[in-house]
Amino acid sequence: MQATRIGGRQVLFVMATTHEYGPRLAERFVPVITGVGPVEAAVGTTQALAGMTALPDLVVSIGSAGSRTLPLGSVWQVASVSWRDMDASRIGFAKGVVPFADFGAVLPLGTPLDWPVARLSTGADIVGGDDYGRIDADMVDMETYAVVRACARFGVPVMGLRGISDGPGELEALGGWTAMLGVLDEKLARVADLLR
């Protein structure tokens, strides 16, 4: 796996699926495609990092997200990420806290760009409609938390860039997610250029 040299640093881009990897992003980098969901993201990121001869200076988790409050087509830098599936409250841990771990429920991320930030929640479910009401975050995805945890094992910093593909109303079909991906390809590419 090859990182992309940007501004004197080696940067590795990580994405869930080629659906999010449009022609504008393809002009800028070749990502690690992990697969969809936290397990696939953790496995794919770990495999990529373990196979590199030299670790990157930065990993960028990039792609789409859902939100019921942020505008469709907008792009956000991830200020923090939480894992909405983790619930060991029956044995005395606060919801979102990984038992016996040395980190809290919310993981802060570096935000090196002069660009708006938002809080992200990662989980194994596609969120829509009223389900947003149970999530304490501005946007949702299915991979970033797992990417952050995999990178932590290698000591590699992570930043996140997410474009809002869906959220208002109910998401009931694949087309409801993919409709905005062309717009996000262009916008994410412009924001990624700021890393230079």
Domain boundaries, the chain: 4-193
Assess contact for 146 and 41: CB atoms under 8 A.
yes
Q: What is the pLDDT of residue 35?
A: 92
Q: 52: which 2 tokens? A: 């590199």
* 120 contacts 162 by C-beta, under 8 angstroms: yes
Q: Looking up tokens 């449009």, which residue turns up?
A: 22
Of 131, 151, 133, 125, which Cα lies nearest the Cα of 57?
Answer: 151
CATH H superfamily, domain 4-193: Nucleoside phosphorylase domain (3.40.50.1580)
Tell me if 33 sits within 8 A of 17, measured CB to CB: yes
* 148 CB burial (10 A radius; 0-12, 13-18, 19+): buried
Among 46, 138, 33, residue whose Cα is nearest residue 84: 138
C-alpha closest to that of 164 among 50, 78, 35: 78
Find residue 108's DSSP bridge partners. Answer: 80
pLDDT digit string (tens) for the chain, length 196 residues: 688 888 889 999 999 998 889 999 999 999 999 999 999 999 999 999 999 999 999 999 999 898 989 988 899 999 999 999 888 888 888 887 788 888 888 899 999 999 999 999 999 887 777 787 888 899 999 999 999 999 999 999 999 999 988 776 654 555 455 777 778 898 899 999 999 8
Digit-coded pLDDT (tens) for 142-172: 999 999 999 999 999 999 999 988 776 654 5
What pTM was estimated for this model as a whole?
0.89
User: How many Cβ atoms are within 10 Å of 63's Cβ, its own excluded?
Assistant: 29
Tokens 């959220």, located at residue: 167
* CA pair distance 103, 149, nearest whole angstrom: 10
- Pair of tokens at residue 121: 């929640």
CA distance 99 to 145: 16
